[in-house]
Chain A
Amino acid sequence: MSSENGKLLPETDAGGLNFEATELTLGLPGESRVTSDGVAKLGSKRGFSETVDLSLGDNKNTNKFGQSQIDVPEAAKSPVSKAQVVGWPPVRGYAKRRTKSCKYVKVAVDGAPYLRKVDLEMYNTYQQLLTSLEDMFSCFTIRNYLSDKKLDQVNGIEYVPTYEDKDGDWMLVGDVPWQMFVESCKRLRLMKSSEAVGLAPRTPPKCSSAS
């Protein structure tokens, strides 16, 4: 499983501190975050999933435990990785087919005090990604060029989603097929619309689905 997440452990291994209370959120003041069953749990796994996001991939639903549905890599679930028994559980071809690889990229939002990380492999379309970013940074609106509709404005500031590709260039999100984007994206930046003058196209780019 991804070793990248091992690096996040020291942050989350707060070992029983009231982590939630000290956690900064970007939501509107007083907005409640979906939590797990209310009991402050020890151990790093839940803390980790709460800090990443609570509704990645599907902003409408969380499961009964209020936990996000991400496949949180094993390394993050316990301080010591559980040694896997060969061939157990008896699931076929798992390494090949079902477990997706992780592709965590940093997300920076102009004006936000700190960055977030999202796993691009959790999504299948641009819409899913942008919706999820919108939830993560819920007090901003993100200009969605793809469906050519403006998202509801909350406080009047629009953001343009951009990303840095493998060549180091900053690109507008949405031009290339989704899979190509996932492969080439190194980091995301939600740029203030006002700064994007001259970059943001007037007509929405034609985006074909993965082919």
Chain B
Amino acid sequence: MQKRLAYSLPDEVLEHVFSFIQSDKDRNAVSAVCKSWYEIERWCRRKIFVGNCYAVSPGMVIRRFPEVRSVELKGKPHFADFNLVPDGWGGYVLPWIAEMAGAYPWLEAIRLKRMVVTDESLELIAKSFKNFKVLVLSSCEGFSTDGLAAIAASCKNLRELDLRESDVDDLSGHWLSNFPETYTSMVSLNISCLGSDEVSISALERLVSRCPNLRSLRLNRAVPLDKIANILRLAPQLIEFGTGAYSAELRSDVFSNLAGAFSNCKELKSLSGFWDVVPDYLPAIYSVCSRLTSLNLSYATIQSPDLLKLVSHCPSLQRLLVLDYIEDSGLEALASNCKDLQELRVFPSDPFGVEPNASLTEQGLVAVSLGCPKLQSVLYFCRRMSNAALVTIAKNRPNLTRFRLCIIEPRTADYLTLEPFDIGFGAIVEHCKDLRRLSLSGLLTDLVFEYIGTYAKKLEMLSVAFAGDSDLGLHYVLSGCKSLRKLEIRDCPFGDKALLANASKLETMRSLWMSSCSVSYGACKLLGQKMPKLNAEVIDERGPPGSRPESCPVEKLYIYRSVAGPRFDMPPFVWTMNEDSTLRLS
């Protein structure tokens, strides 16, 4: 009788048990146990995440999961952030919205990353989902404030509107006024990416004053400093706040008003914004600094002493984003003051300059790796590095999970030994056994890839540029990195051999991007034809790849696994290598 217990549990009980299982991986595992669990699970899955919007069609998702409340989609490949993906490539959300409008009337949340969102899509969202609560548009584009106006007017239960780093067409600042006077449910509002004419301050103030649950507010650059105090006084319950331009003529009345307003915010834990900083106004935030866990100064063009002073006031800091003006001295102060630091991102203030304009070297990163025992995530731009430093960092911080190093000049060697950084990055992957994300830079041979293939068993995402000597490098990675999901490569001498030899590996990954490498059109065709579960797409703005010899390398190649087959919305410069469509090429 006990053996049959599992079969006799009523569906409702199983469903209740499954409701405690939130992670996608676990849900997928549950659904694979047996047919009845698959059925029960699919009816009670409420959240879906589609890491590549072309991997599956909206119809397939809707057919399998009929009761979804929250959808997350990602579109363009990561290198689109750096202008490597031409405009018009794809990633349109409208087909998804159109199908979900009919199928998911109770949809509450849509989260999109690197997708093309139009005003039409936004209007459709506003019209179709009566209980819509969350809209997050991360690095999206294609829409204007008109679309936002539609959302504001119709979504009575909206809690979260987050436009982080999206490219919005500014047409009018009055869209905010579209939130009716009866609307009071805003919890999180991020409009930091909007331009100058896109927000009416008075509408903003009225909105803030009538939303008692507002916890996160990130303003755009156009909101002047002297308006901030008033806004903060209307929302002292804020946990996260992003300023606008942090500059004004220094006036003691403005300063004390601002300082008072900040000190009133007893729960403030995260600050950002800080465009155009006037250092004299920084002390206005000192009262909240001791509680700050997250500080984003990546727009603050202030110098090292001011940064150092500021950072020294923030002992609870867990996350810091800053420009290289912080310099080694500032990072040393960070290392001694901020023992809870988990994430550090240092951006270049002058990325295209030939010589350093700030005294930031590998020393700063070494200091932080030594002084901050909880450091897990690093993004560091610098102009010089040494293997010795990398080895030290690796040994100091074996708990690193994300390590992205950008030595600004391609193919720069170790400045002490003039050698490649194979040993240094080798130490990183060897010691940091839980490393999930790695970005390489500097002079690198095939050897570094051998280390990565050997040691980086948990690595999920690898970014490579101007590195390696031969196909062997690519082969090491594809054959060795068991957990690899995303691989993006540019300007490396990798060709057909490694790719074709590891074709089946590609089905276990989300996607592979290769640009300015040596993969031939012939190899792409072969992959497309032999691997039906992969979409092999060639991006080539020179014209049809078929008009050149088969051995000619393609400009860019994007290969991703998909159960939806080749896509139908390709622009003229994208060619699919899949069998049915090869007819189009001639």
Report B's interface with A, CB cutoff 8 A. 79, 81-84, 165, 224-227, 245, 247-250, 254, 276-279, 299, 303-305, 325, 327, 347-359, 381, 406, 408, 410, 439, 463, 465, 490-491
| B81 and A92 form a contact (CB under 8 A) | yes
Enumerate chain B residues within 8 angstroms of A71, measured Cβ to Cβ. Answer: 349-350, 353, 357
Of B250, B327, B355, which one neighbours A45 at CB under 8 angstroms?
B355
CB distance from A121 to the nearest CB of B (A): 10
| B303 and A128 form a contact (CB under 8 A) | no
Enumerate chain B residues within 8 angstroms of A58, measured Cβ to Cβ. Answer: 279, 303
How many Å lie between the Cα of A77 and that of B463 in the bound state?
30
CB distance from B472 to the nearest CB of A (A): 24
Closest chain A residue to B358 by CB distance?
A: A63
CB distance from B225 to the nearest CB of A (A): 6
| B359 and A63 form a contact (CB under 8 A) | yes
Enumerate chain B residues within 8 angstroms of A61, measured Cβ to Cβ. Answer: 303-305
Q: Give chain A interface residues in 123-144, CB to chain B under 8 Å.
A: 124-128
Give 22 pairs: A residue, B residue, CB < 8 Å, sorted on A. A45-B355, A63-B327, A65-B359, A69-B303, A71-B350, A74-B354, A86-B82, A86-B83, A87-B79, A90-B465, A91-B381, A92-B81, A98-B299, A124-B247, A125-B250, A127-B249, A178-B249, A209-B224, A209-B249, A209-B254, A210-B247, A211-B227
Closest 9 CB pairs of A and B: A87-B82, A209-B248, A124-B247, A64-B359, A124-B276, A87-B84, A90-B82, A89-B351, A77-B354
Write out, one digit per residue, whether chain A residues 67-82 have a CB within 8 A of any chain B CB (1) or not (0): 1011110100110001
Does A94 reach chain B (CB closer than 8 Å)? yes
Closest chain A residue to B139 by CB distance?
A: A92
Does A88 reach chain B (CB closer than 8 Å)? yes
Does A29 reach chain B (CB closer than 8 Å)? no
**Chain B: interface secondary structure?**
loop
How many Å lie between the Cα of A126 and that of B278 in the bound state?
11
Does A146 reach chain B (CB closer than 8 Å)? yes
Of A78, A91, A147, the most chain B CB neighbours within 10 A belong to A91
How many Å lie between the Cα of A128 and that of B301 in the bound state?
14
Of A92, A99, A125, which one neighbours B278 at CB under 8 angstroms?
A125
CB distance from A88 to the nearest CB of B (A): 7
Of B278, B348, B350, the most chain A CB neighbours within 10 A belong to B350
Q: What is the size, in residues, of chain A's interface with B at 8 Å between Cβ atoms?
A: 43
Enumerate chain A residues within 8 angstroms of B439, measured Cβ to Cβ. Answer: 90
CB distance from B84 to the nearest CB of A (A): 5
Of A69, A77, A99, A126, which one neighbours B249 at CB under 8 angstroms?
A126
How many Å lie between the Cα of A97 and that of B305 in the bound state?
24
How many Å lie between the Cα of A209 and that of B251 in the bound state?
10
Enumerate chain A residues within 8 angstroms of B491, measured Cβ to Cβ. Answer: 85
With A65-B359, A69-B357, A72-B357 as known contacts, state yes or no: A86 contacts B84, CB within 8 Å: yes
With A63-B304, A65-B359, A210-B224 as known contacts, state yes or no: A90 contacts B406, CB within 8 Å: yes
Enumerate chain A residues within 8 angstroms of B465, measured Cβ to Cβ. Answer: 88, 90
How many Å lie between the Cα of A106 and that of B463 in the bound state?
46
How many Å lie between the Cα of A98 and that of B250 in the bound state?
24
Enumerate chain A residues within 8 angstroms of B348, measured Cβ to Cβ. Answer: 89, 91
How many Å lie between the Cα of A97 and that of B194 in the bound state?
11
Does A84 reach chain B (CB closer than 8 Å)? yes
CB distance from B465 to the nearest CB of A (A): 7
Enumerate chain A residues within 8 angstroms of B410, measured Cβ to Cβ. Answer: 85, 88
Does A198 reach chain B (CB closer than 8 Å)? no
Does A42 reach chain B (CB closer than 8 Å)? no
CB distance from B372 to the nearest CB of A (A): 23
